[in-house]
Amino acid sequence: MADIDLDQALTLARDAAAAAGEALRAHRASWARVESELGREVKIDADTRAEAIIVAALRRGAPLPILSEEAGWVDGAEAEAFWAVDPLDGSVNYALGYPHCAVSIALVVRGVPILGVVECFALGERFEGVVGRGATLNGAPIAVSTTEGAARGVLQTGIPARMATDAAAQALLLRRLMAWRKVRMIGSAASALACVAAGRADAYAESGAMLWDVAGGLALVAAAGGRIALGPGPLDAPLSVVATNGRPGIDAEF
C-alpha cells in the first residue's frame, strides 16, 4: 500500500475508463453483436473489446494483478492490491441502447475497494472516488443522501444472471418491495451504486454479485460518506453486497 500513489492510480483508472467508454460509444452499432448466451448471462463483442483497452492501459501504468470479468486474473492472482475491472457493466442494456451501462474500474487493497471510477459513457457522467478523499461526478463533489428510513428511501438492487430464482430469493425481494418507498433495478450494478454515492438512491443490496460488478461503485459509496459491506467468501466468487448512506434507519434493513 505504501508504494501506491493514489493520485497516479486515479489518473490511470480515469484514463482507461474514458478510453473504453469512448470506444464503446463510438462502436455500439458494430460491437453489440451477441457472442454467447448461457441462460440469462449474455456476452457481446463489446465486453472483450473494452476489456482489451482497459487491461492494456492498466498493465502499462501499474504492475498490479487485474481481476476482470472476461479474462479472470491477469498478471497474477489475489494480492494485497489489485485492480477489479468490469469493462461493460450492463451488456444487454448497451446492446438495446438503454443508457444505464458503465465501465467500472476499482483499486482493491486488502480486500476492500478504496478507489473507483465508474464511467457512465452513454449519459456523459463520470463518477470518481477515493476513500478518505471524497467522490465527484464530472468533477463536482457528491455525497450520499440523508434519508433516515426505508419508508422514505429508494433501494437499488438486482437479480444477477448467475443467481437461481428460488422461493427464498423471491420472498426477500417481496419484503424489500413492501419495506421501501421505491425499489429500482436498472440492470447495471456499477451505475446503481453510483446513484447511491450521488444521493439519488439510499441503498444498494444484492446477493450473488461478482467483485468486478460492484468494486468501483462500492469505492464511490465509501468515498461519498456511505457504508459498504462485502462478502463472505473468496473475492473471485459470488458475494453479498450492501452499500448504504450509513443512516441507522437505512442500515437497519440489512
**Domains of the chain in sequence order:** 6-142 (3.30.540.10), 150-251 (3.40.190.80)
Instruction: Calculate mean pLDDT across residues 13-37.
Output: 92
Q: How far apart are CA 106 and CA 129, in angstroms?
A: 9
Pairing of strands 227-231, 239-244: antiparallel
The tens digit of pLDDT for each residue in 38-74 reads: 666 778 899 999 999 999 999 999 889 999 998 999 9
The owner of cell 456499477 is: 190
Average per-residue pLDDT for the chain? 92
Instruction: Calculate mean pLDDT across residues 159-168.
Output: 62
pLDDT at 169 (0 to 100): 72
Detail the DSSP E strand segments found in the chain.
Answer: 34-38, 41-44, 66-68, 72-74, 81-89, 102-109, 112-120, 125-130, 134-137, 140-142, 154-157, 182-184, 203-209, 227-231, 239-244
Assign 160 a pLDDT band (cuts: 50, 70, 90): low
More confident residue, 37 or 129: 129
Assign 1 a pLDDT band (cuts: 50, 70, 90): very low
CA nearest 254: which of 220, 235, 229, 225? 229
The tens digit of pLDDT for each residue in 187-229 reads: 999 999 999 999 999 999 998 899 999 999 999 999 999 999 9
186 has pLDDT over 50: yes
DSSP state of 99: S
